[in-house]
């Protein structure tokens, strides 16, 4: 105890990291998908520059400019990455217990409704409204996902389709609130009034919401790898019969993991209100619930790497949005994400034995 | 009492059904052989794009349908290679295919067409039921007889239920699965091009909405059987067709946004009810499991 030096501790930690074949192999999918995206972009840009006459390097320029060109572009890019990251962590918890939660979009919608509702209408001091908004978002969307998890556990009803379809319905309810009771009167486009208590900007386009997302990473890591509940989740995820032989109640674990997963997605929805949009607008959850699936698969369901995959996907989305300035439809981001996804699956499988 | 408006409404609702019937039969064929394709949505989207492109380039709706069919076939070739020849997770590959094709659908259209194009030509129709509607009935009947009454159908079912045993019995599981995926994928492309050419008549962003997912749900809800799939596809088409009518006549006091998702609400409720009531598993046993020879 007498001579504890931080430097010694750091060196000890560094010595424990082995850059062996396994480390390289886990980095390989990421590297190869970056290369695949680069090749795809080159092919697409050659095609675009032939058909529209825009220069090849101008296209690269506008792609780069939209993602990194200015402080506010970087801020927006990181904000998008924040949303993807929160949903990704939510999905990872469900994936780890062998469940597919595709309702990220709908659970975000619930979170957004409750977050905005608490901020707009509760007769309480504003910090309390924010806390209640986030808390109720977690609880209600967790309860919805948990109910679908119960149907899966009890009756074996495919959670993929129930979460997805319920998600569509929840987004429709969000749109209803904006069009109907909560809509701002006297504005051309449908949106609610500004929700009080929205987070201030730290940098242009970036709010403290990112700290919530960063805090979720160690929490999810700790939950999955250092607690009995996380161990049981991973055991259920690796095979139901194994878990049952160990005396684990697989149904209970499935429901709990769906509640946590849905709840975190709900936090993402409330976060979108307070940390980005300052109100709810039509179709706000967008595709974040779906982008989170490749973000989770890319890092092999490891929460501590999810930050990188979210930022990577966010760069692709923002860069493709930048191409609209030269007249390209922004759908191109989806193509890139899909290619990243397929390449990652292929490479992940490549290194694994049968 | 004059029943003409009721009858014409019924016919025009039936007229919408080929989208869901064709796509759910397409999904069913692939599912029977053990291939679970979740990227259906993108497959249909590519069909819509190439349908409109075919009409605008060749000036005939038949060319549009043929191009949509071929586009669906092309997507099916890619997904068949990735899910049958490679032992990848079919769910994840399906998502990848969905992202790529749905993105490409809009990208290809807006790169090759500068102006908004509208299809003027149409099929001769009998009270809103065109030739494709009657051929969907024929396709369902052919599907039923091939799968349940011939030895080829037996091979398909064997590949979906127990690919190992099928392989031992001398059936080439890979070939069966390839054929089924290609046939299913081309039907999906045809459904998409029919939807864009005949029903909506022009291309717009995200035009397939969630109908691909609804088609997958139809198949699961119907318990992977031919006639129930056909009937439940008709039922969901009826719900889709009712949306506009409910909005116009206002006989359900629901907000517009909720009416738009009425098929999904019914879909979830019916899926849960049928899952609770169903005693034995109806899905092919090897559905979603890539077959690897030892």
Token pair of B12 as six digits: 């025009």
Instruction: State the Cα torsion B143-B149-B150-B152 to the nearest 10°.
Output: 50
Q: Is the dihedral of CA A48, A54, A58, A61 positive or negative?
A: negative
The one-digit pLDDT tens for each residue of chain B (294 residues) are: 556 666 666 766 777 888 999 999 999 999 999 998 888 988 999 999 999 999 988 888 899 999 999 999 999 999 999 888 888 888 888 988 998 998 888 888 887 776 677 887 777 777 667 888 889 999 999 999 999 999 999 999 999 999 999 999 888 999 999 999 999 999 999 999 999 888 888 888 778 888 899 999 999 888 888 999 999 999 998 888 887 777 777 667 778 888 888 889 999 999 889 888 877 777 888 888 888 876
Query: C-alpha angle B91/B95/B100, rounded to 5°?
Result: 150
The answer, for A352 touching chain B at a CB cutoff of 8 Å, is no
Residue for token digits 């206002």?
Answer: B250
Q: How far apart are CA B190 and CA B65, in angstroms?
A: 6
Q: What is the mean pLDDT of chain A?
A: 84
Closest partner residue to B110 (CB to CB) among A165, A169, A329 is: A329
- Is the minimum CB–CB distance between B111 and chain A shorter than 8 Å? yes
- B257 touches A: beta carbon within 8 Å: yes
User: Would you call A51 an interface residue with chain B, using a CB distance cutoff of 8 Å?
Assistant: yes
| Kind and range of the H or E run holding B109 | helix B90-112
Question: How does pLDDT run across B76-133, given as a tens digit for each residue?
Answer: 999 999 888 888 888 888 988 998 998 888 888 887 776 677 887 777 777 667 888 8
Residue of B268, B282, B283, B294 to mutate when probing chain A, most A C-beta within 10 A: B268
Q: Which residue is closest to B265 within chain A, CA to CA?
A: A169
pLDDT tens profile A308-335: 889 999 999 898 888 877 766 667 888 8
Cα-Cα-Cα-Cα dihedral sign, residues A15, A20, A22, A26? positive
Whole-model pTM: value is 0.89
HSE, side-chain direction, 13 A CA sphere, residue A248: 22
Q: How many CB pairs under 8 A join A and B?
A: 134
* Contact between A294 and B271 using a beta-carbon 8 Å cutoff: no
Q: What is the maximum alpha-carbon separation in chain B? A: 69
Read off the DSSP letter of residue A103.
T
Q: Which residues of B touch A48 (CB under 8 A)?
A: 111
Q: Per the CB < 8 Å rule, is A158 touching B271?
A: yes
Interface pTM (ipTM) of the complex?
A: 0.88
- Per the CB < 8 A criterion, the answer to whether A151 and B272 are in contact is yes
- Quote the distance between the C-alpha of residue B246 and its chain's center: 25
pLDDT in tens, chain A (354 residues): 455 566 666 666 666 666 566 666 666 777 788 888 888 888 888 888 887 777 888 888 888 888 888 888 899 899 999 999 999 999 999 999 888 888 889 999 999 999 998 888 888 888 889 999 999 999 999 999 999 999 988 888 888 889 999 999 999 999 888 887 777 766 667 777 888 878 888 878 788 888 999 999 999 999 999 999 998 898 888 877 777 788 888 889 999 999 999 999 999 999 998 888 888 888 788 888 889 998 998 888 888 888 988 999 999 989 888 887 776 666 788 888 888 888 888 877 665 544
Question: Which residues pair with residue A203 across a beta bridge?
Answer: A206
Q: Which residues of A touch B256 (CB under 8 A)?
A: 176, 179
What's phi and psi for A227, nearest 5 deg? -120, 155
Partner-chain contact A173 B258, CB within 8 Å? yes
> Are B92 and A345 in contact (CB < 8 Å)?
yes
* CA-based nearest distance A207→chain B, Å: 29
Closest-CA distance, A37 to chain B, in angstroms, reads 12
Cβ distance B264 to A168 less than 8 Å, yes or no, reads yes
- How many secondary structure helices (H) and strands (E) does chain B include? 13, 0
CB count within 10 Å of CB B230 equals 25
Query: A241-291 pLDDT, tens per residue?
Result: 777 788 888 889 999 999 999 999 999 999 998 888 888 888 788 888 889
Query: Would the CB atoms of A349 and B91 count as touching at under 8 Å?
Result: no
Work out the minimum CA distance from B255 to partner chain A, whole angstroms.
7
């Amino acid at each position: 105890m007498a001579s504890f030096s931080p430097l010694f501790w750091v060196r000890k930690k560094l010595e424990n990291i082995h850059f062996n074949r396994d480390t390289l192999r886990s980095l390989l999918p990421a590297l190869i998908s970056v290369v695949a995206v680069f090749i795809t972009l080159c092919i697409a840009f050659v095609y675009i520059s032939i058909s529209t006459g825009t220069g090849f390097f101008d296209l690269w320029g506008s792609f780069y400019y939209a993602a990194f060109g200015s402080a506010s572009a970087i801020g927006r890019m990181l904000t998008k990455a924040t949303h993807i990251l929160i949903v990704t962590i939510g999905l990872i918890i469900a994936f780890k217990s062998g469940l597919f939660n595709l309702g990220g979009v709908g659970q975000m919608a619930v979170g957004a409704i409750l977050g905005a509702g608490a901020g707009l209408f509760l007769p309480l001091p504003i910090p309390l409204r924010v806390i209640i908004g986030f808390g109720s978002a977690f609880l209600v969307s967790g309860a919805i996902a948990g109910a679908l998890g119960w149907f899966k556990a009890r009756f074996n009803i495919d959670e993929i389709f129930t979460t997805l379809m319920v998600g569509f319905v929840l987004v429709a309810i969000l749109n209803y609130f904006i069009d109907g009771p909560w809509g701002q009167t006297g504005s051309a486009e449908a949106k609610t009034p500004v929700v009080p208590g929205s987070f201030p900007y730290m940098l242009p386009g970036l709010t403290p919401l990112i700290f919530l997302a960063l805090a979720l990473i160690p929490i999810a890591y700790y939950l999955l790898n250092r607690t009995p509940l996380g161990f049981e989740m991973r055991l259920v995820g690796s095979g139901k019969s194994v878990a049952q032989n160990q005396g684990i109640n697989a149904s209970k674990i499935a429901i709990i993991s769906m509640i946590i997963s849905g709840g975190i997605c709900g936090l993402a929805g409330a976060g979108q209100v307070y940390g980005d949009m300052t109100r709810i607008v039509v179709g706000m959850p967008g595709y974040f619930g779906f982008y989170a699936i490749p973000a989770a698969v890319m890092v092999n369901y490891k929460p501590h790497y999810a930050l990188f995959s979210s930022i990577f996907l966010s760069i692709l989305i923002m860069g493709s949005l930048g191409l609209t300035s030269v007249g390209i439809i922004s759908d191109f981001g989806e193509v890139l994400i899909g290619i990243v996804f397929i390449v990652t699956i292929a490479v992940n499988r490549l290194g694994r034995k049968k | 009492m004059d029943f003409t408006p009721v009858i014409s409404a019924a016919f025009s609702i039936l007229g919408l059904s080929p989208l869901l019937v064709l796509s759910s039969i397409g999904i069913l064929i692939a599912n029977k052989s053990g291939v679970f394709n979740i990227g259906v949505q993108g497959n249909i989207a590519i069909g819509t794009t190439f349908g409109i492109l075919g009409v605008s380039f060749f000036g005939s709706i038949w060319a549009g349908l043929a191009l949509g069919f071929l586009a669906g076939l092309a997507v099916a070739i890619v997904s068949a290679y990735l899910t049958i020849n490679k032992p990848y997770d079919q769910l994840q590959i399906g998502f990848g295919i969905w992202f790529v094709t749905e993105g490409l659908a809009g990208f290809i259209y807006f790169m090759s067409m500068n102006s908004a194009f509208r299809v003027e030509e149409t099929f001769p129709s009998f009270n809103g039921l065109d030739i494709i509607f009657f051929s969907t009935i024929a396709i369902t009947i052919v599907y039923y007889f091939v799968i349940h009454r011939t030895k080829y159908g037996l091979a398909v079912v064997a590949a979906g239920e127990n690919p190992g045993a099928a392989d031992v019995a001398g059936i080439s599981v890979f070939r069966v699965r390839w054929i089924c995926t290609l046939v299913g994928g081309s039907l999906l492309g045809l459904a998409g091009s029919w939807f864009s050419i005949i029903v909506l008549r022009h291309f717009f962003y995200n035009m397939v909405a969630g109908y691909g997912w609804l088609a997958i749900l139809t198949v699961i809800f119907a318990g992977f059987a031919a006639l129930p799939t056909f009937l439940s596809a008709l039922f969901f088409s009826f719900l889709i067709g009712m949306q506009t009518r409910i909005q116009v006549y206002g006989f359900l006091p629901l907000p517009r946004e909720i009416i738009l998702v009425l098929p999904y609400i019914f879909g979830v409720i019916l899926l849960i009810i049928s899952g609770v009531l169903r005693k034995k598993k109806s899905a092919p046993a090897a559905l979603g499991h890539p077959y690897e020879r030892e």
